[in-house]
Amino acid sequence: KPVLGRMLLPEEDAQGKNHVVVLSYSFWQRVLGGARDIVGRSIQLNGEPYNVVGVAPQGFGLASKVELWTPMAFKPDETANDARGGHYLNVAGRLKPGVTVAQAKAELVLIATQLAQQYPDSNKGWGIFMMTMQDYLVRDVKPVLYTLLGAVGCVLLIACANLANLLLARATARHREISIRAALGAGRGRLVRQLLTESVVLAIFGGAAGVLLARWGLDALLALAPASLPRITEIHLDSSVLLFSLALSIATGLIFGIAPAWLAARADVNEALKQGTRGSTEGGARGRLRSALVVIEVTFALVLLGGAGLLARSFMQLAKVDPGFIPDNATLIRLSLPQKKYGLPEQQTAFANALLERMKNLPGVQAVGVTHSMPLVSDYVLGFNIEGRPAIDPSDLPSTNYYAVTPDYFHAMGIRLIRGRVFTPQDDAKAPRVALINETMAHQFFPNEDPIGKRINITNGPDTWREIVGIVADIKQYGVDKATSAQSYEPFAQVPFTSINLVVRTKGSPAALLGAIRPAVYAVDKDQPVGTIRPLEEIVADTIARQRFALLLLTVFSSVALVIAAVGIYGVMAYNVVQRTGEFGIRMALGAQQRDVLKLVLTQGGKLIGLGLVIGLLATLGASRAMGSMLFNTSAYDPLTLASITLLLGAVALVACFFPANRATKVNPIEALRTE
């Protein structure tokens, strides 16, 4: 439901009735200050008035960058049979009650087959691809979400293992109290319930503290999260989250408190009362459980650290990728010329030339270029023919990423010329049609011949052959982690567009130029809206924003796990030292040196750590395999990363063991024996 007004009506999807607009919540707040009286007012879009009929709810839409919705309102010539080849629309629909996705897909496949038979020129080779809205929204981030969920689970298990060790130590310290209660008639069930109640209360307090921390952390999470993450703005703490946290806290207290409580309740009463309050040692079952919990902590800490290490290495590989252009000191300015005002090719070319002239004269500007389609921002794909090759069915034409650019575009972007020449001002509308192609297109379609001098026909208008005059370097169109496909260029003066992407390269930081951009545009046309103004470095960084965010979260989780595991190991070893104080006193009284005691304690801890590392390494190999789709140019079994992480965790764990071990060497034999 809209926040204000209404959404679009079916009858508005027609020429003459389509000048209505629904605003996104973010646009309403950011640009219009959340004005409550905006409905019914008029705003200018492409130089024409549009009546605001509503404001969409926060988070509405399939793409986070959409800020306005207007009716599509096809023109009559756009629905004619000769316009059927424009396969550029996505259709969203809601299934009728009782209809499954498989049934709907089968029906759509049948319709697509019938259309291909009825209109072979436009529909042959085109099928139906259908997916649920949920799969569409999370299709790219699902592996990341599952990985982060697993990371949260690992941190929880490590924390729970620590909790169990704490409860076990507390129960051991209270063995005399528990024994007295049992001697006075308290049954085992009652003792277990008492100890479980204490563990659940402790877990609930911990859960409450976690919720308070999450409230603060959520703000930081939303501030750091890339806007491209689907429905990120909808994340919030509500009653369902609080109930889940409460249930999880209670379950944690019960599950990880039951073993310590049971072991404490089944202790031998007579033996415990004989031992008194000091000098007692814990039974074999408790010792084995304590050791097992240490192994569990090390295991899951290594799994988390291994995942973070692999993601870090993958991210470093991504950062090394050459996008094919130089983003440093370059800025993108996006404009959309109103069709009503700039409907003729001559008008579009004149505006672009006038704007280029203005921008060139700004202080500090090295080069300025225009492209109608910007790498990493937008795409424009067309089919093409090669002169002299066998005729190809229109539905089977090879495709190319297509760019209409001005002569200085390659200099402004920093795209290298491999062979031939780039465009010149003489390549205007009256000159012979020319084109440039990238290295991939040259190797793929001209493997054993020189493409320069050959002619291609790109299907963006009447059949007009373009002579290839040069080859330029590949650029990344869809992301630095995506493969490069065929790319072709034409002079903007020969095929102008209303879409203007202006690239400005400066001698230094482009920040000083930002204040002069809008006045330069307004000097050419005072009514021309200026769209996005962004440094190219920021655009490139955005392409790996999701990977950076996943790495950040996994690093935080693994760091927390490392600290918790280290504290847990320290606590267990410190407790063992206290329990064995009498033993160490006897050993030293019989001639053992401090280094012997140090070695004894470190060996005990080292065995547990080593076992945890071995199991953790095997678990990491399995977990990293599931992360394969998230890694770039990095093996899921990268030996250097796994070895480094294993050594890091082993070193931290041994340091955690050293302090209690060193404390054991300071035991005074006389005092220890007197206490014993």
Q: Which two tokens stand for residue 440?
A: 């991939």
- For residues 361 and 578, give the distance between their C-alpha atoms in angstroms, rounded to a whole number: 79
Mean pLDDT of the region 337-342: 88
Half-sphere exposure of 175 (CA within 13 A, CB side): 26
Indicate the DSSP class of residue 4. E
Mean pLDDT of the region 171-175: 63
**Phi, psi dihedral angles at 533 (to 5 degrees):** -125, 110
- For residues 500 and 672, give the distance between their C-alpha atoms in angstroms, rounded to a whole number: 84
Express each pLDDT in 384-432 by its tens digit: 889 888 877 766 788 899 999 999 999 999 999 999 999 999 999 999 9
Express each pLDDT in 313-330 by its tens digit: 999 998 889 999 999 999
- For residues 497 and 377, give the distance between their C-alpha atoms in angstroms, rounded to a whole number: 16
**Domain map of the chain by residue range?**
4-108, 145-320+545-675, 338-527
Burial class of 130 by CB neighbour count within 10 A (0 to 12, 13 to 18, 19+): middle
Q: Which two tokens stand for residue 491?
A: 């002079």
Q: Which two tokens stand for residue 588?
A: 């030293």
Q: How far is CA 413 from CA 146, 318, 370, 410, in A?
A: 38, 20, 10, 5
Q: Which two tokens stand for residue 318?
A: 């991504």
Express each pLDDT in 651-674 by its tens digit: 999 999 888 888 888 777 676 666
pLDDT of 301 reads 92
- For residues 317 and 608, give the distance between their C-alpha atoms in angstroms, rounded to a whole number: 35
Which residues, 6 or more positions from 87, have their beta carbon under 8 angstroms from its beta carbon? 126
Half-sphere exposure of 501 (CA within 13 A, CB side): 21
Confidence bin at 584 (pLDDT 50/70/90): confident
Burial class of 149 by CB neighbour count within 10 A (0 to 12, 13 to 18, 19+): exposed
The most confident of the ranges 31-35, 300-304, 415-419, 619-623 is 415-419
The most confident of the ranges 209-213, 225-229, 266-270, 335-339 is 335-339
The percentage of residues in the chain with a pLDDT greater than 90, rounded to a whole number, is 37
Q: Which of 398, 417, 392, 389 is nearest to 489 (CA)?
A: 417
